[in-house]
Amino acid sequence: MSGAILLVGLSNVGDAVLTTPVMNALHELFPGAPLDIVADRRSAAVYEPCPFRRQIFYKEKRAAFRGLPALVRDLRRERYELAVDLRTDFLVYLVRAARRLPKWRARPYGPHAVERHMGVIAALHGARPMPRASVWPRPADEAFAAGAFPRDGRWLGLGPGAHWPPKIWPARRFAELLSEMQTEFAGAVLFGDETDAAAARQIAASAPLPCVNLCGRTSILEAAAALARCDAFVGNDSGLGHLAAAAGTPTLTLFGPGDPARYRPWGSGSAWIEAPGRELERLRADAVAASLRALPSRRGSADT
């Protein structure tokens, strides 16, 4: 295929990371084809540094259908060999494309979000192995990460936040986890946005290990680069776990509500633990510590 490909991606950061296996699969199938992406402003940060993408068209989530005519007008200036829609059942029918693969025609390989996304291109991908998820930090992001915390000894990344309170393991439990692991790590790095800063300060105040608080201090790709420097990551069911797994860091996700079969981070270095009764308040630090110790070493190659 020499013509361009259009991919309609997803809006949240974690969801966007889980679409990158489809991007990798399309690039492997059609290495010479330029890839255009439809993305929201926030999730676009995941896609922007992709070395084989051409241009990004922005779908304004808050504008809903009011922004659709302008988006379609921009898309129709291009002619595509293939249009793949992971988000809607209709957008690919509004663009000029020789072949269209909408979400409604997916043949999922399994229950996981990646297997469902890959099902949209099942007719092309066939029985090939499932691709890895990817993030592509830039040199400036790598430079930020290199100066964010020392690299002597093993460092544990922590993600104490989430966008829904029932998905948040209490801050005191994260501090208890660091007490459990104090002989096995040199320090901890706390990741999140400004809304997670208070919890991060609470964890750091009672932690027996040095803590570097990066909450609210990183872009998405700076966080990905810093996560790649951690020896393991423990966090709630949020986008940070997906970034960590895509960066190759062994990842343990804490599930209360939520479905790990569908939404766990993608990769052989990823594990999860479910709280008793789906209530994270009841999840003990020693149980998390045992699961953390069982994580595999850093990933050498990717897959499911």
Within-domain flag for 36: yes
pLDDT at residue 2, as a whole number:
62
The single residue listed with the structure tokens 């949240």 is 12
Q: Residue 303 pLDDT > 50, yes or no?
A: no
Helices (H), the chain: 13-17, 20-29, 44-47, 68-75, 113-120, 122-125, 139-148, 171-180, 197-206, 220-228, 239-246, 260-263, 285-293
Q: Residues of the chain with pLDDT > 70: what percent? A: 95
In this prediction, residue 302 carries a pLDDT of 39
pLDDT in tens, 292-302: 999 987 654 33
Of the candidates 244, 21, 221, the one whose C-alpha atom is nearest the C-alpha of residue 114 is 21
pLDDT at position 11 is 87
Q: Are residues 156 and 268 in the same domain?
A: yes
Q: For residue 73, give its domain range.
A: 5-125
Domain CATH number, residue 251: 3.40.50.2000
Mention every residue, 6+ apart, whose C-beta is less than 8 A from residue 32: 1, 2
User: What pTM, to 2 d.p., does this model score?
Assistant: 0.93
Q: Are residues 99 and 145 in the same domain?
A: no
Model confidence pLDDT, tens digit, residues 207-261:
999 999 999 999 999 999 999 999 999 999 999 999 999 999 999 999 999 999 9
The answer on 77 and 48 residing in a single domain is: yes
Determine the pLDDT at residue 230.
97
Q: Return the pLDDT at 301.
A: 36
